[in-house]
């Protein structure tokens, strides 16, 4: 008798903020393919990113142009170690930067091109933040629609603030000009938010303030060869699966100024039958968010050597 078959699986990849000093060192020590991955990234960049990842200091690793490639390299190192042990993959997805990791894992973009591209993306985002000072804030305990109204009310008089990350129900991030974000934080608390915390970031990511970065990222991606992914990648912008290369490029650029619709991305995958999400890379942020989004699907994180050694598909 035939069974229902194994559960459908999605690979998910973390975004900026998951980096930590020492990330990936245990993988490099334990697995030659992981060490080769870090060495390849150092060669591509012409500098020792691995030294920054493994030795810090923390403020150097946290810089946008270092954090973005560091997280991608760690994620792909784990993916390469596990590649022949992973089950068949239905979808891939990544949180902001993590979407580039997903395209590499799906064979749509080469590792070297992705490392160069996210390094450039980090530089462009930082420069946009210098051009027009902005910030972000985490808002806890508000409904999406209520926070959207707060952002509209707090915008104006030459400033704007928008939702930037729909991370999970009741766990949102806003982004925009500093006065507008601070105004929105006060309004959010006045309208029932449990907490509003300004984040230590170098710009208003995933907001219109990132528009100056679009042209540079477009030029960068125009010089990158892309192929159709082996499995669809669920876009942060639309929360829909993408397999077309032209659409993928366009959405990776739009992602700079659009909110990360992570809750909707996860729900799309579950609606298409995914029963398990495997988070590859540093930290457990996306696995933790699953507890708020949908407890019906299993989620597990693999980012350290001991987790790889304990892997069972």
pTM of the full predicted structure?
Answer: 0.96
Q: Is the domain of 116 the same as that of 31? A: yes
* pLDDT above 60 (res 120): yes
Q: What is the mean pLDDT of residues 4-25?
A: 92
Q: Kindly state whether residues 63 and 176 are assigned to the same domain.
A: no
Q: Which of 177, 202, 227 is the last residue of a domain?
A: 202
pLDDT in tens, 208-246: 999 999 999 999 999 999 999 999 999 999 999 999 999
**Separation of alpha carbons 116 and 229, rounded Å:** 19
Which domain covers residue 279, as residue numbers?
8-129+209-309
31 within domain boundaries: yes
Residues 55 and 81 in one domain: yes
Whether 117 is in a domain gets the answer yes
Decide: 170 and 140 in contact? Cβ < 8 Å: yes
pLDDT number for residue 4: 62
Q: Rounded to whole angstroms, how far apart are CA atoms 9 and 217?
A: 31
- At residue 313 the predicted structure's pLDDT band, cuts being 50, 70 and 90, is low
- Do 113 and 238 sit in the same domain of this protein? yes
Q: Determine, yes or no, domain membership for 2.
A: no
% of the chain surpassing 70 pLDDT: 98
Please give the mean pLDDT across all residues of the chain: 95
Which of 202, 220, 253 is the last residue in one of the domains? 202
Tell me: the pLDDT tens digits for 127-151?
999 999 999 999 999 999 999 999 9
- Report, as an integer, the average pLDDT of 115-137: 96
| Residue 5 pLDDT exceeds 80 | no
Number of domains composing the chain: 2
Domain contains 1: no
Spatial separation of the C-alpha atoms in residues 122 and 66, rounded to whole Å: 7
Instruction: For residue 71, give the nearest of 36, 46, 97 by alpha carbon.
Output: 97
Domain assignment of residue 180, yes or no = yes
Active site residues: 96, 206
Q: Which whole number is the average pLDDT over 4-14?
A: 87
- CATH number of the domain residue 155 falls in: 3.30.70.250
Residues 159 and 60 grouped into a single domain: no
Do the strands 274-280 and 8-13 form a parallel or antiparallel pair, or are they unpaired?
Answer: parallel
The owner of tokens 């008798």 is 1
Residue 254 lies in a domain: yes
Answer yes or no: do 220 and 198 share one domain. no
Asked if residue 240 and residue 113 are part of one domain, the reply reads yes
Mean pLDDT of 171-188: 97
Q: Residue 2 — pLDDT band, cuts 50, 70, 90?
A: very low
Q: Please give the pLDDT value at position 156.
A: 84
**Same-domain status, 103 and 245:** yes
Q: What pLDDT was estimated at residue 3?
A: 45
| Pair (268, 299) in one structural domain | yes
Is it the case that residue 170 has pLDDT exceeding 80?
A: yes
Let me know whether 124 and 263 are in one domain.
Answer: yes
Q: Does residue 79 sit in the same domain as residue 169? A: no
Report if residue 35 sits inside a domain.
Answer: yes
Same domain, 141 and 214: no
CB 163 within 8 A of CB 152: no
Q: What is the DSSP letter of 212?
A: G
Q: How confident is the model at residue 1 (pLDDT cuts 50, 70, 90)?
A: very low
Split at pLDDT 50, 70, 90, the class of 265 is: very high
């Amino acid at each position: 008798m035939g069974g229902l078959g194994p559960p459908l699986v999605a690979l998910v990849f973390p975004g900026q903020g998951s980096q930590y000093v020492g990330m990936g060192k245990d993988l490099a020590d334990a697995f030659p393919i992981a060490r080769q991955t870090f060495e390849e990234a150092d060669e591509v960049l012409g500098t020792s990113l691995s030294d920054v990842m493994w030795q810090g200091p923390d403020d150097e690793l946290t810089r946008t142009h270092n954090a973005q490639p560091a997280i991608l390299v760690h994620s792909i190192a784990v993916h390469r170690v596990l590649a022949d042990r992973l089950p068949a993959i239905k979808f891939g997805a990544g949180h902001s930067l993590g979407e580039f990791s997903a395209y590499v894992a799906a064979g749509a973009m080469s590792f070297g091109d992705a490392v160069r591209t996210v390094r450039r993306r980090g530089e462009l985002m930082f420069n946009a933040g210098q051009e027009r000072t902005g910030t972000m804030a985490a808002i806890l305990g508000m409904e999406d629609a209520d926070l959207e109204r707060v952002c509209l009310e707090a915008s104006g008089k030459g400033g704007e603030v928008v939702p930037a990350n729909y991370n999970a129900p009741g766990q949102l991030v806003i982004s925009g000009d500093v006065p507008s974000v601070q105004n929105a934080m006060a309004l959010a608390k006045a309208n029932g938010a449990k907490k509003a915390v300004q984040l230590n970031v170098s710009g208003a990511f995933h907001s219109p303030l990132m528009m100056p970065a679009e042209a540079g990222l477009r030029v960068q991606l125009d010089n990158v060869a892309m192929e159709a992914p082996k499995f669809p990648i669920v876009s942060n912008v639309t929360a829909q699966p993408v397999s077309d290369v032209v659409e993928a490029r366009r959405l990776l650029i739009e992602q700079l100024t659009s909110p990360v619709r992570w809750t909707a991305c996860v729900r799309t995958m579950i609606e298409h039958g995914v029963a398990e999400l495997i988070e590859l890379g540093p930290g457990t942020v996306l696995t933790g968010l699953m507890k708020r989004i949908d407890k019906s699907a299993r989620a597990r994180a693999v980012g350290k050597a001991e987790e790889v050694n304990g892997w069972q598909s």
